[in-house]
Amino acid sequence: MTTQSQIPPHTLRAAVKYGKMNRRAWLVTGALVVFQIINFADKAVIGLVADPAMRDLGLTAGEFGFIGSAFFFLFAIAAIAVGFLAGKVPTRWILLVMGISWAVLQFPMLFGGGAAVLLVTRILLGAAEGPATPISLQHVHGWFSAKERGLPSSMVAIGSTLGPIVAAPVLAWIIANPALGWRWAFGFLGIVGLLWSLCWLFIGREGPYSHTSRQTPESEMDDSAEEAKQEEAGAAVGRPRHGESIADKADLLKIVPIRRVLGTRMFVAAVLAGAGCFWAQGFLTTWSPKYLASVVSLSPEMIGLVSTFPWVFGAVALLVLGYGSRFLMRKGVTVRWALGALFGATLLCSGVCFLLLPHLGGAAAVIAVTVGAGLAMTYPLAPTALAFSVCSKQRAAVMATLTGFASMGGVVAPAMVGMLMDNAGYLPAPKGVADTAEMAARLAEGMNSSFWMIGVYLVVVGGISILLLNPDRTAVRLQERFAYNG
């Protein structure tokens, strides 16, 4: 029978059973969920303002697509650089700097910036937001022991999908309001970002399990039992065996050269899979509202609502897959099948939806976009799987490097779709005039070409992920060949 001393005091189980919990840990988790909401709202705003911004600034579809892609120009470089920095600098301060930067970069468009200002601020905003997901995950892991990180990690990941859900209806109302307009969508996000940063200044702290913290974690068992457990686990992981799950041993892995991790087949597979996920995100944040307006013929009010559907579906998918993975690992299933293969199968299903999309219209098209793009929102499972194969000190760097490389898909998507629309002969209508039936058909032709391409890509990388996203095998090989004491 489970006793109170056997349940870690900072977990939700303890909170429910005994009314005790580490309030700071869950307060920090909640703040990081809001942080991720703001992060993805900042991405989604560019798509929501597409129509009025293109007309007011005199931009073609290709030019606006280039601005959408510009968000990712420095995304990878910043993600990688900050990921390595996080191994030495407390992540609470990195998160604060990011929050303030996001807010400040929104205001130039509120105060009348043109196309050039929009381009520059999107580039800088992408650099400031590049490290968001890996740093958020690294920080929340510092507040929970290894076996209790699944739920808070899933919550932070779901925050990524909640951004457009929460923000899209509000921003759509601001954009449609004659007294405000599309520029105030940027201003609103800037104000929210400043408020979050002020709160984080008082809330943000390093957790007791952070490698930069000097705090001592609350005892979860008596010292002698803990010492015996650590010695036993340390001996077991010194020579990991093939075919065993690495789930219970990941925190005891030794340091390996980063270049060796980046050269594994698993890392390459995760990059390719992540690029497909970022492609879908790039499409959603830049072109999805335009697709819903011109091809599905939705009203501006309905676009704000329907635009949230993929993100809602993605949040549900993340929650289901997160709990499913946790259940399977508790049953002894290896991380490869409980997480890696599950993620790969999800991408394969996403690809099938995109392949069907060119043949659909109306409600069926909305469903296909919702399911296809929503399933691609499960990208956080890729860095989570990869994190099992390296030690805690290297996870931020490895996850950030993966995110940086994978974000190239976000660079490609907006520009690629815009180029295909231009090639199909699409021209934006003048300000205040809706697209003609001919222009809507050309827009659909260009977008359908992109759906075919990403559909095939996701099916292929989904299959590759099922085969190669194997942290159990990767961890064993890295530890046997390259491990050293850092």
Higher-scoring residue by pLDDT: 73, 434: 73
Tokens of 265: 């087949």
**Residue among 284, 99, 273 at smallest CA distance from 191:** 99
Q: Provide the percentage of residues in the chain whose pLDDT is more than 90.
A: 30
User: What angle (nearest 5°) sits at the alpha carbon of residue 148, between those of residues 382 and 378?
Assistant: 25
Whether residue 7 is predicted with pLDDT greater than 60 in this model: the reply is no
Domains and CATH numbers, the chain: 24-208+248-482 (1.20.1250.20)
pLDDT of residue 275: 94
Confidence of residue 245 (pLDDT cuts 50, 70, 90): confident
Give the residue-averaged pLDDT of 233-250: 58
pLDDT of residue 15: 53
How far is residue 324's CA from residue 144's CA, in Å, rounded to a whole number? 20
Residues making up the chain, counted from first to last:
486
Cβ-based neighbours of 263, under 8 Å, separated by 6 or more = none
pLDDT of residue 380: 84
At what angle are helices 50-57 and 23-48 packed, to 10 degrees? 50
Collapse the DSSP code of 485 into the 3-class scheme (helix H, G, I; strand E, B; otherwise coil) and give the result.
Answer: coil
How far is residue 144's CA from residue 146's CA, in Å, rounded to a whole number? 6
Whether residue 260 is predicted with pLDDT greater than 80 in this model: the reply is yes
Give the pTM.
0.75
Cβ-based neighbours of 410, under 8 Å, separated by 6 or more = 69, 71, 72, 75, 278, 279, 281, 282
Each residue of 357-411: pLDDT tens digit? 999 988 899 999 999 999 998 888 898 889 888 887 788 889 889 988 898 888 7
Each residue of 284-328: pLDDT tens digit? 877 888 888 888 888 777 887 788 888 889 888 988 887 788 788
**Residue among 61, 134, 48, 54 at smallest CA distance from 91:** 134
Each residue of 408-443: pLDDT tens digit? 888 788 888 888 988 988 887 776 667 788 888 888
Confidence of residue 4 (pLDDT cuts 50, 70, 90): very low
Each residue of 94-129: pLDDT tens digit? 999 999 999 999 999 999 889 999 999 999 998 998
pLDDT of residue 264: 95
pLDDT of residue 122: 93
Q: Give me the half-sphere count of Cα atoms (radius 13 Å) on the Cβ side of residue 71.
A: 31
Whether residue 63 is predicted with pLDDT greater than 80 in this model: the reply is yes
2-6, 348-352, 436-440 — which is least confidently predicted? 2-6
pLDDT of residue 234: 43
pLDDT of residue 1: 42
pLDDT of residue 236: 44
Each residue of 271-293: pLDDT tens digit? 999 999 989 888 887 788 888 88
Give the residue-averaged pLDDT of 28-55: 87
pLDDT of residue 161: 77
Give the residue-averaged pLDDT of 341-365: 93
Each residue of 8-21: pLDDT tens digit? 555 555 555 544 45
Each residue of 190-239: pLDDT tens digit? 999 999 999 999 988 888 877 666 554 444 333 333 433 443 444 444 44
pLDDT of residue 241: 59
Q: What is the 3-state secondary structure (H, E, C) of 396-465?
A: HHHHHHHHHHHCHHHHHHHHHHHHHHHHCCCCCCCCCCCCCHHHHHHHHHHHHHHHHHHHHHHHHHHHHH
- DSSP symbols for 204-220: ----TTSTT----PPPS
Whether residue 251 is predicted with pLDDT greater than 70 in this model: the reply is no
Neighbours of 379 (CB within 10 A): 28
How far is residue 8's CA from residue 218's CA, in Å, rounded to a whole number? 8
At what angle are helices 265-286 and 437-468 packed, to 10 degrees? 160
Residue 255: phi and psi, rounded to 5, are -70, 140
pLDDT of residue 348: 96
